[in-house]
């Protein structure tokens, strides 16, 4: 790549009670009865992006789209990419291939019906695609997706494939995998692409890492955030472990000004625009979610009602 590099910004649209670290303490049957703060937090992000004239990809849960359709429509109306985070935030590695395919199909149907645009990108909850489920990329392609951002090439206690490729690559299935940003030092990959790392470590470290990816590797950096990371007033889960509470709650009040600075210092766009050269040649075959029936430009289409979960 030559000239200034545009990086890819992404948001994983889930609420505070849906994070994997809290799953042992919050039953899914409780979700509908808990205070939902995702609308407030997504609105904050949309306003921030609008002020900085930046676009992003919003990997959105089908569960959220069904209950908060206005959120999805605002994302699309403001020119951002609508992509899938699955339906109910179940880790891909905890599902059979058949259950995974059903989850992806349902999520894509709900999102496309709600947003009126084609959904061709997917990110697995908690980056749960790796050596335990090598079949996952084929399932994604078979269900009509063009790309995934689901494999994190780091070592982590909940996810990660440390020896996976660090940059955009085509998998054996023909699907493009677009990993979150890392830098390689002393034979090890270190995350610099957002999330908890962005909150827990000094801002200067993330900025240095993204500059290194752009200047040394000459590659766009894929960054990711969650709406709940911008919400210091969210309810607490006191029964979670000290480590989980530390990771989840530390520096929540600093995330918004840090992201505003990141948007000022670097160029950002949605994933499908940043990687348009690769993805333009990666159209998938028609799958259960009717790939190609909607326009990425936002042209509404009439779709049958999505099945219930």
Residue 299: pLDDT above 50? no
Query: Which token pair is 261?
Result: 């600075």
Q: What is the mean pLDDT of the chain?
A: 90
Predicted confidence band of residue 4 (pLDDT cuts 50, 70, 90): confident
CA 75 – CA 59 distance, rounded (Å): 11
In this structure, are residues 154 and 141 in contact, taking their beta carbons and an 8 Å threshold? no
CA distances from 129 to 98, 139, 190, 214 (A): 15, 11, 18, 26
Supply the pLDDT for residue 282: 58
> What integer is the mean pLDDT of 263-275?
98
- Pairing, β 182-185 against β 188-191: antiparallel
Predicted confidence band of residue 2 (pLDDT cuts 50, 70, 90): low
> What integer is the mean pLDDT of 62-72?
98
Q: pLDDT tens digits for 100-120?
A: 999 999 999 999 999 999 999
Residue 85: pLDDT above 90? yes
Query: Which token pair is 205?
Result: 């470290």
Q: Which of 141-145, 182-186, 257-261 has the lowest mean pLDDT?
A: 182-186
Helix spans in the chain (H): 38-51, 62-67, 69-77, 97-115, 136-142, 195-200, 203-215, 242-249, 252-265, 271-274, 276-279
Residue 297: pLDDT above 60? no
Supply the pLDDT for residue 160: 61
Supply the pLDDT for residue 258: 97
CA 170 – CA 148 distance, rounded (Å): 10
Q: Could you tell me which residue, 298 or 29, shows the higher pLDDT?
A: 29
Residue 296: pLDDT above 60? no
CA 229 – CA 254 distance, rounded (Å): 9
**% of the chain with per-residue pLDDT over 70:** 88
Q: pLDDT tens digits for 147-206?
A: 999 999 987 656 668 989 999 999 999 999 999 999 999 889 999 999 888 999 999 999
Supply the pLDDT for residue 200: 92
Residues 6+ away with beta carbon under 8 Å from 128? 91, 92, 93, 94, 150, 159
Domains of the chain, earliest start first? 6-279 (3.20.20.370)
């Amino acid at each position: 790549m030559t000239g200034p590099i545009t990086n890819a910004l992404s948001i994983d649209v889930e609420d505070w009670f849906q994070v994997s670290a809290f799953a042992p303490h919050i039953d899914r049957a409780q979700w509908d009865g808990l205070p939902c703060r995702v609308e407030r937090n997504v609105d904050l992000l949309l306003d921030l992006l609008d002020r900085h004239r930046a676009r992003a990809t919003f990997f959105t849960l089908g569960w959220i789209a069904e209950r908060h359709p206005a959120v999805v429509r605002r994302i699309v109306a403001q020119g951002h990419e609508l992509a899938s985070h699955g339906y109910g935030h179940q880790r891909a590695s905890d599902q059979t291939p058949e259950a995974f395919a059903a989850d992806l199909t349902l999520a894509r149907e709900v999102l496309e019906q709600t947003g009126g645009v084609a959904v061709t990108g997917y990110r697995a909850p908690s980056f749960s695609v790796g050596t335990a489920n090598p079949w996952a990329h084929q399932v994604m392609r078979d269900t009509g997706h063009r790309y995934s951002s689901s494999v994190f090439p780091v070592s982590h206690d909940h996810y990660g494939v440390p020896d996976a490729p660090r940059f955009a690559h085509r998998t054996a299935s023909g699907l493009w995998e677009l990993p979150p940003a890392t830098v390689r030092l002393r034979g090890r990959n270190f995350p610099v692409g957002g999330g908890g790392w962005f909150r827990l470590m000094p801002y200067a470290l993330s900025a240095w890492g993204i500059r290194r990816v752009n200047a040394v590797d000459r590659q766009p950096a894929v960054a990711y955030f969650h709406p709940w990371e911008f919400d210091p007033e969210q309810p607490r889960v006191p029964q979670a472990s000290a480590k989980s509470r530390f990771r989840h709650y530390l520096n929540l009040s600093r995330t918004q000004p840090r992201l505003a600075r990141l948007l000022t210092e670097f160029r950002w766009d949605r994933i499908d625009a940043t990687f348009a050269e690769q993805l333009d040649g990666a159209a998938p075959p028609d799958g259960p979610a009717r790939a190609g029936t909607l326009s990425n430009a936002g042209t509404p289409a009439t779709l049958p009602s999505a099945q219930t979960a």
